[in-house]
Amino acid sequence: MTERAASALDLDWDSPPDADDLVREAVEWHFNPKTGSEFWLERAKKLDFDPRKDVRTVADLTLFPNIVDELRDIRLETLIPKGYASLKRFSERPVVGESGGTTGEPKRVFALPDVINHAWDWYHRRLEDHGITKGPNWLGVVPTGPHMVGKLARDTAASFDAIFFTVDLDPRWAKRLVARGAVDELKAYVNHLLDQIEWILRSQDIGVLAITPPLLEAACQRESLVELINAKVRTLTWSGASMDEDTRHLLRTEVFPDVNIVGIYGSTMIFCAIPERRGTSLEEPAIFDPPSPFSMFSVIDPDTKESVPYGERGQLVCHHITRNLFLPNNLERDTAVRHKHALGLAGDALSEVKPVKAFGDKAVIEGVY
Amino acid sequence: MTASAPARLDALGASGPYRSRNLEQVHDVTGGLVAELSLVPWLYAQRTLRALRAAAPPDPARREEMLVEAGRLFATGTVDGVDAETFHRTVAAVSGMPITAVREATQRVGDYAAKACASVQMARPAGAVTDWRDPRARHGCGVWTRRGEVFVVHAPANTPAVHSAWLDALALGYRVAIRPSRREPFTPHRLVCALRQAGFADDQVALLPTDHETADRLIAEADVAIAFGADDVVRKYQSSTLVLPQGPGRSKILLTEGVDVARHLDTLVESVAGHAGTGCINATAVFVEGDPRPVAEAIAERLGALPSLPPLDERARLPVSEVASAKRIDDYLQSKVDDAIPLLGGGTVVDELGDGSAVLRPAVFLLDRADAPQARIELGFPCVWVAPWSRADGVAPLRDTLTLTVVGGDDTLITELVEDPTISKVYVGDHATTWTRPGLPHEGYLGDFLMHSKAVIVG
């Protein structure tokens, strides 16, 4: 065991350290000239505080500016802490993950095996909590390519000793079609995907279906697909986009009443996927408890920066703190309802995440309608 | 308005009323909360459309019985626990349309329902019969059939009267899903409830309130659809054979030389300001062969005398909006005036009532040429542009028109107007642009769009 193995940064995500301890170790690692990344060491010069001295607690994380927009165009190598070179633990190259790319150029991060293992193991155990067992085959209808959710689905299926079936899908192209109102083209693309899903579901024994909410809704338009899913799929996970509670309720009560439906909240900027809290009633929303303190949420009033009361909606702030990445105080464009963390860990749990409402429908003045 | 709890307006799906978690607040023109409207998610909407598509329509005789009864219930009965007068008051309070105009428009919808089955037959081609069992089919003939099964209506809120449009589709055996305007969902909610109360099954006619994005998807999933909106909606759908866009009416009046304006002033005023000037059939422009000023002055004098009153006042004749939205409309209008001479409504048309609402006062502008661009500006209150016109200007300024009333005029001119493909209705003589009756086309017969004819020979 090296000295570092006892560090808060290396603990299993199910054995969380004290959050403030983690923060102190993280700033020491990421801002020490010997171990920090080129990105943070350069960026620190522009800060009006010294992270290694002045950041001692979770609350101090709000001192940091939101830097995630800079992840759109920096060289990936500059993000990797120099300390890894001396660790010699990893011969593998980093895995690159990108954000959705909805708001312009995607943001780009990396992960090394230490953090991937922690995040994936944690995810695997949460799915076990939801009743997924070894054996049944998986069908992944989630984006691959630069989107980490595809890799997560494939790796997790492997961790359950499952055969993994999948289809290609390109959500950025779909979003472009939506943006320019190309309804027919979008329909054609979705049908192309649904055909492929149907071929697999018809011929293969699929027990676990990992799918995005828009495609799940599209699948519901085909009676044949609804029947196949009801006949074969025991657990269905949705992730990659938000799902409104009305839709979730209909899916659970009317469309797939006997399927175990598990919502997943994930984002590249927190580098984890969070299955919904177990055991909530049909009338409750899906609540997401993050692997705090490695990934933490705050739900705040954007004007006062204070937390909103529990049960109320506010804007989402994310912190991601691992040996790989230090992404504190990231004010997201999403809003969510604030909940207490189920395990009493630092930060908030979330429900009903949705994008900040755009500026509404443009007021039409001329005409009588 | 009232201190009571807001009304609950459920969606009306294929298996009954549906209350969502996603509620949209509906306010009256003073900003008071009146109702909470359930907005359905896309999953619910698409499942409803599928249930509608799978359902078989009642036979034609039964449809007629039920439409007649629904019309009676809608106009005068108690529907979903709400009597007609309460309904009228709610629509007036929410839409700002004067209560008397609401009553009249509502009655018109009820009357129309009773006649819808007969009225739609006016659109049937002379060579087509309604049923393949008709004896004429033994020798071969056209049979008039639906182009699809599910008709989606993207409805507007300008007047309750627009909801008579989709009754044609029910009469023809379509299953109909209405996406109401979130500003005034009460009229379609009551009409769908009345139809169900009269016997239409839940999978025959549905009310699907949605957000904007879902509305577009509803239209994309329909077999055929009608969408009301501004020029952008028309542009979006004009090349589609499955979506019928209903754009601005830009109705007009032409007074030819020598016409005695005083004799037709009532017709002019009714055309501009009837039904509070909120309709596509209200005149947007008046063209005068000769000096337009006396005509504009006469209209301005009459319209200027209309009182500013809240919508529930029996004497109210003008539309009322929330102050902020009235100001937006006014800003838009004033920014477009340019070289037009205001005779009424120059400066502002907003007359605040002090309770958070404002009357949109009439506006009358004088233009100096027939092709002035302002003559095409249609707004949801009495606003009219009066312009000179001469034979040399020709038909061009009169084009793109829902209703064109021509007073005077010779055969050559009238033939040209009747033959013009961009003019939908031509009323010659002393007829207000707002005049109509069941059985007449309105931007064509809806039946032209909903139906087609196929050749059938039997035996």
The pLDDT assigned to A361 comes to: 41
Q: Which chain A residues contact residue B230 at CB under 8 A?
A: 364, 366-367, 369
User: Of B212, B247, B282, which residue sits at a domain end?
Assistant: B247
Inter-helix orientation angle B99-120/B60-76, to 10° = 170
Q: How distant is the Cα of A301 from the closest Cα of chain B, in angstroms? A: 22
Give the residue-averaged pLDDT of A62-87: 92
Counting residues of chain B whose pLDDT is more than 90, the rounded percentage is: 93
Establish whether the linkage from the previous residue to B180 is cis, with ω within 30° of 0.
Answer: no
3-state secondary structure A332-354: EEEEEEEEECCCCCCCEEEEEEE
**Lowest-confidence pick of A227-231, A340-344, B90-94, B241-245:** B241-245
The answer to whether the CB atoms of B40 and A365 lie below 8 A apart is no
Inter-helix orientation angle A148-159/A113-129, to 10° = 60
Position B337 in a domain: yes
Tally of CB atoms within 10 A around B256: 17
Q: Residue B320 belongs to what domain range? A: 251-428
Residue B211 pLDDT greater than 60, yes or no: yes
pLDDT band at A359 (very low <50, low <70, confident <90, very high): very low
- Give yes or no: residues B306 and B168 share one domain: no
Q: Name the interface residues of A facing B (CB cutoff 8 Å).
A: 181, 183-184, 187, 217, 220-221, 223, 244-247, 249-251, 254-255, 361, 363-369
The pLDDT assigned to B260 comes to: 93
Number of H helices, E strands in chain A: 11, 13
- Give yes or no: residues B22 and B87 share one domain: yes
The answer to whether the CB atoms of A363 and B328 lie below 8 A apart is yes
pLDDT band at A333 (very low <50, low <70, confident <90, very high): confident
Residue A56 pLDDT greater than 60, yes or no: yes
Total number of residues shown for chain A: 369
User: Of B247, B279, B296, which residue sits at a domain end?
Assistant: B247
Give the residue-averaged pLDDT of B400-420: 96
- Give yes or no: residues B23 and B86 share one domain: yes
Mutate to test the interface with B, among A226, A256, A283, A368 (most CBs of B within 10 A): A368
| Alpha-carbon radius of gyration of chain A | 21
- A242-264 pLDDT tens trace: 899 999 999 999 999 999 999 99
Q: Residue A73 belongs to what domain range? A: 3-83
- Give yes or no: residues B176 and B264 share one domain: no
Position B451 in a domain: no
pLDDT band at A362 (very low <50, low <70, confident <90, very high): very low
Nearest to A250 among B44, B247, B380 (CB): B44
- Give yes or no: residues B229 and B172 share one domain: yes
Q: How distant is the Cα of B296 from the closest Cα of chain A, in angstroms? A: 22
DSSP result, A258-310: TSEEEEEEEEGGGTEEEEBPTT--TTSPPEE---TTTEEEEEE-TTT-SBPPT
Cβ-count burial B6-26 (b if 16+ within 10 Å, e if not): bbebbbbbbeebbebbbbbeb
Nearest to A368 among B221, B233, B280 (CB): B280
- Give yes or no: residues B135 and B187 share one domain: yes
Beta bridge partners of B407: B255
Q: Kindly report the CATH number assigned to the domain that includes residue B292.
A: 3.40.309.10
Give the residue-averaged pLDDT of B305-311: 98
DSSP result, B139-189: G-EEEEEES-SEEEEE---S-GGGGGTTHHHHHTT-EEEEE--SS--HHHH
* Pairs of residues, one from chain A and one from chain B, whose beta carbons lie less than 8 Å apart: 87
Q: Which chain A residues contact residue B329 at CB under 8 A?
A: 365
Beta-carbon contacts of residue B67 (< 8 Å; ≥ 6 apart): B113, B114, B116, B117, B167, B170, B171, B195, B198
Rounded to an integer, what distance in angstroms lies between the CA atom of residue B408 and that of residue B341?
Answer: 26
Residue A4 pLDDT greater than 60, yes or no: no
Position A70 in a domain: yes
What backbone phi and psi angles, to 5 degrees, belong to A270? Answer: -115, 0
Residue B267 in 3-state DSSP? helix
Rounded to an integer, what distance in angstroms lies between the CA atom of residue A279 and that of residue A140?
Answer: 25
Q: How distant is the Cα of B136 from the closest Cα of chain A, in angstroms? A: 40
Q: Which chain A residues contact residue B43 at CB under 8 A?
A: 217, 220, 246-247, 250-251, 255
Beta bridge partners of B351: B359
Tally of CB atoms within 10 A around A204: 13
> Average pLDDT over chain B, rounded to whole?
96
Position B290 in a domain: yes
- A15-28 pLDDT tens trace: 999 999 999 999 99
Position B442 in a domain: no
Q: Look up residue A342 and give its amino acid.
A: A
Q: Which chain A residues contact residue B46 at CB under 8 A?
A: 217, 220-221
Residue A360 pLDDT greater than 60, yes or no: no
The pLDDT assigned to A92 comes to: 77
pLDDT band at A182 (very low <50, low <70, confident <90, very high): confident
Give the residue-averaged pLDDT of B181-192: 96
- Give yes or no: residues B310 and B201 share one domain: no
User: Could you tell me the CA-to-CA distances from A114 to A93, A109, A282, B388 in Å, in that order?
Assistant: 12, 15, 37, 81
- A31-53 pLDDT tens trace: 999 999 999 999 999 999 999 99
- Give yes or no: residues B188 and B290 share one domain: no
What backbone phi and psi angles, to 5 degrees, belong to B379? Answer: -125, 160
Q: Count of domains in chain A?
A: 1
Position A250 in a domain: no
Counting residues of chain B whose pLDDT is more than 70, the rounded percentage is: 99
Beta-carbon contacts of residue B341 (< 8 Å; ≥ 6 apart): B365, B366, B367
Q: Count of domains in chain B?
A: 2
Position A9 in a domain: yes
Please report, to the nearest 10 degrees, the dihedral formed by the alpha carbons of residues B160, B165, B171, B173 taken in order.
Answer: -110
- Contact between B314 and B322 under an 8 Å Cβ cutoff? The reply is no
Residue A5 pLDDT greater than 60, yes or no: no
- Give yes or no: residues B318 and B207 share one domain: no
DSSP result, B59-96: PHHHHHHHHHHHHHHHHHS-BTTB-HHHHHHHHHHHH-
- Give yes or no: residues B225 and B371 share one domain: no
The DSSP letter of residue A9 is: G
- Give yes or no: residues B212 and B285 share one domain: no
Which one, of B380, B24, B321, B285, lies nearest residue A364 by Cα?
Answer: B380
Q: How distant is the Cα of A184 from the closest Cα of chain B, in angstroms? A: 8
- The Cβ-side half-sphere exposure at B135, using a 13 Å CA radius, reads 0
Q: Which chain A residues contact residue B228 at CB under 8 A?
A: 369
The pLDDT assigned to A6 comes to: 66
Position B439 in a domain: no
Residue A83 pLDDT greater than 50, yes or no: yes
Q: Tokens standing for B112?
A: 């129309």
- B218-234 pLDDT tens trace: 998 999 999 998 888 88
Position A124 in a domain: no
- The Cβ-side half-sphere exposure at A120, using a 13 Å CA radius, reads 20
User: B145, exposed or middle or buried, with CB in 10 Å at 0-12, 13-18, 19+?
Assistant: middle
Q: How far, in whole angstroms, is CA A305 from its chain's centroid?
A: 23
The answer to whether the CB atoms of B332 and A181 lie below 8 A apart is no
Residue B260 in 3-state DSSP? coil
Q: How distant is the Cα of B130 from the closest Cα of chain A, in angstroms? A: 32
User: Of B189, B214, B247, which residue sits at a domain end?
Assistant: B247
- Give yes or no: residues B409 and B321 share one domain: yes
Q: Look up residue A59 and give its amino acid.
A: A
Position B399 in a domain: yes
The pLDDT assigned to A180 comes to: 86
Q: Tokens standing for B47?
A: 């499942």
DSSP result, B212-256: HHHHHHHHHHSSEEEEE-SHHHHHHHTT-SSEEEE----EEEEE-
- B342-369 pLDDT tens trace: 999 999 999 999 999 999 999 999 999 9
Residue with tokens 């994309």: B220
Position A11 in a domain: yes
What backbone phi and psi angles, to 5 degrees, belong to B127? Answer: -90, 0
